[in-house]
Amino acid sequence: MVAPRVYEALSQPVVGHLDPFFFEISDQVRRLIGHVYSTENDFNLAISGTGSAGMEAAVSNFAEPGRKFALLTNGFFADRIGEMARRQGAEVVRLAKPWGEPFDPQEAREFIRRERPRVAAFVQAETSTGMFNQAKAICEAAREVDALTIADCVTSLGAMPVLVDDNGIDVAYSCTQKGLSCPPGLAPMTVSPRALERLKARPAPPPSWYLDLLLLDTYYVGRKYHHTASATLLYALREGLALAAEEGLENRWERHRRNHLAFVAGIEAMGLRMHVPEGHRLWTLNTPRVPEGVSDALARQYLLEKRGIEIAGGFGPLAGKVFRIGLMGHGSTGKNVLLVLEGLESALRDQGYEPAGDGRAAAEKALAVSA
């Protein structure tokens, strides 16, 4: 859901992509990106493109032909990173888990120490499964072997603790339409000084001209023309980031955690179970298992047509097996938790599933306890 203040920002007059006011807003955005990533990095920018453009920028700038690229994958979007690295000519080595199964920290360390890659990549917030992958062990092991780390924070930024500096993440990217409650179209990104030195030392420039981070830096910092960026989307992102800063990151994280726990209490009271183990779940993207005998497609159709609520289904090996229910950013409220649970209960009853208990009452109780 887009925040009302972001809608207001979108309505402001458009200026040119080399206008001094454009760069004034751009500078504010760069500082605020650093804040929401919890980093002291100077190199922060918003790539013109969706979260996948951020992913491609991270991979194309730091994957190198013939060099090892270690991928820790337990979902769709990690596999996408691997495919991008393969197309860059990197030697992709994988530590793979079933979708929704967490990595054992020691196993992750041993994998990186054994492979000694140039880059290690993982998805912190796996949108396909609702999994939150811990970064610390991966980043520590990567530092031991002088590898850079790339983290996909698409469904965590602005809603969960990304903690770039504390975790030791070198390159992180995200999107605007999830935890930051903006329209899609920009990819906030941060790069550590260590990674920047590695990039400058590349024997040849990255194959992607449009996503070359050093060229983009000459635009946003050097004020030299590179491409026609959208002032309107930049206004929106500035406002979304400002809202996160005004709320306070810790307060914002706690709001998402509290509403996620209330949602889970409601789901479990209804007799459903979550796909991802407790302690490894995203607070932004919930994945309850579809009950036996229920069609996820019909349930989602019912919610959309009867209640005006849109949720997603699983795909890949999780197709038809999970619901993917986003409660994030401006949309993460106790009211919306109750709204979704009521709607889902009706959709399940419509197919003959009888909930074990009152999901709304369980969620209300959880919200009251945490208030």
CATH number at residue 98: 3.40.640.10
Phi-psi region of 185 (alpha: psi -120 to 50; beta: other; left: phi over 0): left
Domain that holds residue 221: 4-247
- Listing from the earlier edge strand, what are the strands of the sheet with 285-286? 285-286, 323-326, 312-313
pLDDT tens profile 24-60:
999 999 999 999 999 999 999 999 999 999 999 999 9
Examine the domain organization and report whether 256 and 195 are in the same domain. no
Examine the domain organization and report whether 43 and 65 are in the same domain. yes
Examine the domain organization and report whether 218 and 143 are in the same domain. yes
Boundary (domain end) residue, out of 207, 225, 247: 247
Examine the domain organization and report whether 171 and 318 are in the same domain. no
How far, in Å, CA of 113 to CA of 253, rounded? Answer: 33
Task: Report, as an integer, the average pLDDT of 247-261.
Answer: 98
Structural domains of the chain, count:
2
pLDDT tens profile 339-352:
999 999 999 999 99
Examine the domain organization and report whether 243 and 285 are in the same domain. no
How far, in Å, CA of 1 to CA of 182, rounded? Answer: 8
How far, in Å, CA of 270 to CA of 174, rounded? Answer: 33
In the predicted model, is pLDDT for residue 297 greater than 80?
A: yes
Examine the domain organization and report whether 106 and 229 are in the same domain. yes
Provide the mean pLDDT of the chain. 97
Q: What is the CATH number of the domain that holds 340?
A: 3.90.1150.10
Examine the domain organization and report whether 234 and 301 are in the same domain. no
pLDDT tens profile 261-273:
999 999 999 999 9
Q: How confident is the model at residue 371 (pLDDT cuts 50, 70, 90)?
A: low
Examine the domain organization and report whether 288 and 182 are in the same domain. no
Give, in order, the Cα–Cα distances in Å from 193 to each of 39, 117, 148, 280. Answer: 11, 19, 11, 30
Boundary (domain end) residue, out of 247, 277, 302: 247
